[in-house]
Amino acid sequence: MLFVLFSGEEGGLLGSSYFVYNSPIPLPQLVGDLNVDMVGRVDDAHRKKPDYCYLLTNKEGQKLRQIAEQANAQSVKLAINEGGYDTVSDPEQFFYRSDHYNFAKKGVPALFFTNGSHIDYHKITDTADRINYEALAKRATLVFQTAWVLANQDER
């Protein structure tokens, strides 16, 4: 399992682009990319029910999404999106705006965990005191459980 932190996302996914083109591991050997970005807030649609997570992927990442849904059902039981933020109909095009996208473009299955947009998105008011730490902990547990299942499969 490889943990990688990127910089330069807002500048054009620069860090993940560099990694993909200079990976120390051949890309075909990567089982998948689990991208975690913006998981500590609650969007307007979930103000009264903050136990949710958006899982964004494309066709190649559907197996990762199934693994995440299985892990979710066995652990934190968050509400998972069935549409809204996706690669086709999302007017904000969130799938194309985070670091997993560089992996997806190269055929690496990618799954993006996010809370969606919020009122402070990319503003100076997006500060730690506005994080919903209970929601963050549940989403982090979902990411961990997904990685655990993925890493412990009999097949790649």
3-class SS of residue 131: coil
**Is residue 7, in this structure, part of any structural domain at all?**
no
* Domain extent at residue 57: 31-118+128-151
Residue 83: the pLDDT is 64
Residue 9: the pLDDT is 85
Structure tokens at 96: 């194309």
**Is residue 6, in this structure, part of any structural domain at all?**
no
Q: What is the domain count for the chain?
A: 1
**Is residue 58, in this structure, part of any structural domain at all?**
yes
Residue pLDDT, tens place only, 10-43: 888 999 999 999 999 999 999 999 999 999 999 9
Residue 91: CATH number of its domain = 3.40.630.10
For residue 116, give Cα distances in angstroms to 44, 62, 84.
9, 19, 10
**Is residue 87, in this structure, part of any structural domain at all?**
yes
**Is residue 57, in this structure, part of any structural domain at all?**
yes
pTM of structure? 0.93
Residue pLDDT, tens place only, 66-120: 999 999 999 999 999 976 566 677 788 888 999 999 999 999 999 999 999 888 9
**Is residue 43, in this structure, part of any structural domain at all?**
yes
The residues, any chain, with a CB within 8 Å of residue 75's CB and separated by 6 or more, are 141, 142, 145
